[in-house]
Amino acid sequence: MASDKKQLILSTVLDLVKQTGFYHLNMKAIAERAGISAGTIYLYFKSKEELINELYQTVLGEFNQAVLHSYAPEVGFSGNFEAMLRAAVDFYLPRKDYFSFIEQYTYAPFLFKESQEENFSLLLPIFKLLRQGKKEGLVKAFPEPVLISIIHGTLNTILKMHFAHKLDLRKKSVYQSFCTAVREAVTNPANKDSLPTPHP
Amino acid sequence: MASDKKQLILSTVLDLVKQTGFYHLNMKAIAERAGISAGTIYLYFKSKEELINELYQTVLGEFNQAVLHSYAPEVGFSGNFEAMLRAAVDFYLPRKDYFSFIEQYTYAPFLFKESQEENFSLLLPIFKLLRQGKKEGLVKAFPEPVLISIIHGTLNTILKMHFAHKLDLRKKSVYQSFCTAVREAVTNPANKDSLPTPHP
DNA sequence: TTTGAGAAAATGAACGTTCATTCAGTGATA
DNA sequence: TATCACTGAATGAACGTTCATTTTCTCAAA
């Protein structure tokens, strides 16, 4: 089917970017790896630029869906914050190719203005939650961009380090440390008086 | 003088990377902007790769020097931690070209294995300090890579946001928020008993 | 079931462009 | 004249894209 081949091309690009990097990506290499000819790619994509941009949107879409899916209105701010942070990590952890692609896309020459913007809103759902938590006094009173930097920056770097084998996020203890660290960095210390008491 | 022209070439590259990006950097553009011919560049550098790598080492060296220079043995852990964090910010704040170059270099095809390593050790002096502070119980008991992620990641992202005009680090309040945020994220809450009392 | 003609998909050689690198030539200075 | 830094046209490799041609698929007629 037609969309099969399109999918094949897209996943081949992910594969190649992970393995050889964005700079060495070329249409012939994509074609070879996918077992098709270079010309065929142009039956499914108008240009290399369009191909890359479509892949970017796809990856971003999948990510957003994964994070949003972890949101549950009933568990309140703290529960949702941790859940979405974990969802973000869990999404990329088994998808080094996705992470690598998103990372390198940022500095590719294709980047539309709109996409450039988007890059900071990668964790948009989390940031929304943040604003809510701030109103409730649960989140520290730092300017929003500072809070974003902590979450986005820490997440980004820890994933990078994980994939560079500087740490192993699959270890429960490391994973937990990361979550705790981000929570503590962003939220006010829990007031004992306001803690929900299991048995009043 | 010979080193004058070398310097001219190096700073021209910084300029061009900032303005047009790494991908569009080419030898002819460098030559034109520097007011020399393309061939001349090859009198001072063996190749484009060598040129870029030398520039990378230069920028890194300047940065390390700036951060190390801010270290003062007499002010203890907290004082030094804040001083070095500030030194790092202060270094890049007026040097968008440096920051942009370092950022994009990471994903350039030139990257040697050694340089790849180096990228996480960008804040090496700070990390050394961290280890010391951990022993003294001043730093939170997270795995070191987690602490590194917080500092490196947050610093990196906040600079990126600053240069993208998402915030203004030149504002005292924003700057202070950032410093406080990182300190709180990394260090244990100060114990009032152990605070140095100005007038005992 | 077989045939075959027309549609759709795929091919890969060829093209034009860009780019790093080279080198024969230029001109100023000693 | 000899030396030197410098020039910029020439070179060739790499790349995205195109398109004339071939292959594969489809399905109605025999």
Give residues 146 to 185 of B whose Cβ lies within 8 Å of A: 146-150, 152-158, 161, 164, 166-167, 173-174, 177-178, 180-182, 184-185
Judge whether residue B195 has pLDDT over 60.
no
- Give residues 3-42 of chain B lying near strand C (Cβ < 7 A): 24-28, 38-39, 42
Q: What are phi and psi of A187, to 5 degrees?
A: -105, 155
B197 has a chain A CB within 8 A of its CB: no
Q: How many CB pairs under 8 A join A and B?
A: 122
Looking at residue A24, its pLDDT comes to 86
Please state, in angstroms and rounded to a whole number, the distance separating the CA atoms of residues A142 and A111: 31
pLDDT tens digits along B35-50 = 999 999 999 999 999 9
Q: Measured between CA atoms, how close is B3 to chain A, in angstroms?
A: 31
Domains of chain B in start order, with CATH, are 1-45 (1.10.10.60), 49-189 (1.10.357.10)
pLDDT tens digits along A115-141 = 555 566 667 788 889 988 998 999 999
Judge whether residue B137 has pLDDT over 90.
yes
Judge whether residue A143 has pLDDT over 90.
yes
ipTM: 0.87
A103 has a chain B CB within 8 A of its CB: yes
pLDDT tens digits along A57-69 = 999 999 999 999 9
Nearest Cα neighbor of A126 from A108, A148, A142, A158 is: A148
pLDDT tens digits along B65-124 = 999 999 988 898 999 999 999 999 999 999 999 998 998 887 766 654 445 555 666 677
Report the greatest alpha carbon distance in chain B.
71
Judge whether residue A194 has pLDDT over 50.
no
CB contacts of A150 in chain B (<8 Å) are 150, 153-154, 181-182, 185
Please state, in angstroms and rounded to a whole number, the distance separating the CA atoms of residues B36 and B56: 22
Judge whether residue B8 has pLDDT over 60.
yes
Q: Is the CB of A156 under 7 A from strand C?
A: no
In sequence order, the 6+-apart residues with CB closer than 8 A to the CB of B72 are B79, B80, B83
